[in-house]
Amino acid sequence: MSTEDLGSADEARSGARLEADHPEIGYEAARAELGDVVRRLESGGQTLEESLALWQRGEELADICERWLSGATARLNAVIAAHERGSGAARPDESTAANRSQT
């Protein structure tokens, strides 16, 4: 596996490209289905094979939810960082204006 392949895998896992990772299901749908899977597992009555299949689907859904949440966190962090950079840029201008008025 090349370094490029590793970078692509990291990007996919980070949730940076959510639409490309799982365009077929959104966060809310995955969360709702995961809730159904948990209820079915908790209620019992399934065969071992059915329980294992439900567990596997639950893991897949949890991964999808985690990617969506990671992507949302990354987007929020980017907005916060951009806002802080913008606020930081305004501060030197304000201090420069204050220095000019004192001279």
pLDDT of residue 87: 77
Identify the three-state secondary structure at position 80. Answer: helix
Asked whether 74 and 14 are in contact (CB, 8 A), the reply is yes
Q: Return the number of other C-beta atoms located less than 10 Å from residue 59's C-beta.
A: 12
The mean predicted confidence, pLDDT, of the chain is 76
| pLDDT value, residue 88 | 62
Instruction: State residue 70's pLDDT score.
Output: 95
**Per-residue pLDDT band at 67 (split at 50, 70, 90):** very high
Residues 81, 83, 86, CA angle at the centre, nearest 5°? 110
In whole angstroms, give the CA distance from residue 98 to residue 6: 50
What is the pLDDT averaged over residues 72-77? 96
Query: Is this structure's pTM higher than 0.75?
Result: no
